Structure 1
């Protein structure tokens, strides 16, 4: 598990940080919006910034929350999507309307169920917004109350994706904690080319607008975002939606090659050790058996040490002793997603239903 830990340390001077628009997607998440708005509106950021909440028209509870905070915060704005949208998902329509309503070039995208880990979050994100950059990707993981495997899976995927973004060209993201340029979104027609998918509102933005060496990552703890505990259905749906859009994401083969190779060699290593141990036991070759046991111990130790580095960097409250078991289970979780996707009605993944 590689953490992309020290990939990008240079920061923009505080006086040169840009004005920022924070677009918050709030479709059916009134309670979390109420809980998280106060953190967004009290960021320690010296440059101008605005918070734009995109809700559903007629959602009185969302309007009440916005009304409550707008009294003391003149930088809070709102816009609304219709209750029913044709040929585009509510999330993508929300992003599009939020971008159009924004007054600043740099836009940070969040869901209402996401909350910054600190009041320095916006400053740490903006510190990466220089003139040569068009995307800034931050780290996000689930609340500590979420299932440990969910948090392990998110962390592992984020490590690969952040590494990819810091090395050359970003591929996609696991969360909404990222920034992009408003002008590029408008000039390149936003989601045009992938409107037919229900999911992918985050993935397609990164995949479409990523430029070679144009992405930076913000991985200091102050830049982290914490996502509310997902239900099992929500966690699984995210996997299924990713499965449905992956074929239309650019650079998929190159981006997944390291991930697949790491998994393959890890499993082959364990299979070879187990096979050698079994053979040595049957043939009573005690030297080979001892060598196999030592190799297994060294392999497990190396996996734990690698995970510990990532856990410390991203402040993951996960047991190191579960790493091996979680890594073993990855293939079974992926097989489960593949089977569920194949059995699912493909119209569930598209907005273009005939």
Structure 2
């Protein structure tokens, strides 16, 4: 007999997933302790659990998995083969439909690309920025920059200059951070450039004083000057997503948290297994959060299946809390499928968002 922890370790399914499959009647433990409620699995169930994990990774729906496991245990190979073939046909049809839709989208994209101007501007722009303000803005967003080589347009920090404001933005799809620094000297049209991460880091290294610095954009080249030092280089020749559309979320429940205490709770609290994340192909640890009745944010214990819980990548959450650079931050909870927003109490111009992660079932 294997305990649920041993079963999770040997099968590749998480403890929470095993509990879910027990409740769904898909993989029921051989014995449950009537006093403690602890689950125990028989030797033959390890093979079934490994099969279940493979079928779920292949996207087979639970009703079909239930029949496959029933056929597997009864040696009904004909039933199992037919179910596998039927699911494979569904996947192939789905892939064919997806290819057709993607072909249409690519054609629309080509047409749209030909009718739109590039993100970069050929006009020369020069403005003055507070060194501490720009440093704080870069610190607030740097953690969210992408390292995925397949998405080079996200491998930098967007500098969005409009009026007297400079917004800096970074995203890797799973998280996004936005910050603002005040400027003077620019009264022209909106200008956007993507500063490569190494150049953004070089700029940040120059921002050690309290003085103002000069930021210049000339075509595809951006320069930061402070005193007799400068950091300069070419911008990325890509378009950045329209972040303004991405940050418009329905209002949620806002909770003020004490950051040091909450960080400690996240670091030491329970975690669950999440989906495999590209590009490194490793699963992530999830912190499952919910707002309690007394208005506090808690890290849910394994097995807490409250429908209002929100699961986020624990590492990303800790990075966002550190980047918030405040002893208190506001966590805004919308629907479990909506991003978790993290705001500073003293400004709405600097915030980050974490995409929720589907719990492994």
Q: TM bucket by the smaller chain? A: under 0.3
Q: Which has the higher contact order (CA 8 A, sep 6+)?
A: 1
Query: Could you state the TM-score of these two structures normalised by the residue count of structure 1?
Result: 0.22
Q: Give the number of the structure whose residues are more often strand, by fraction.
A: 2
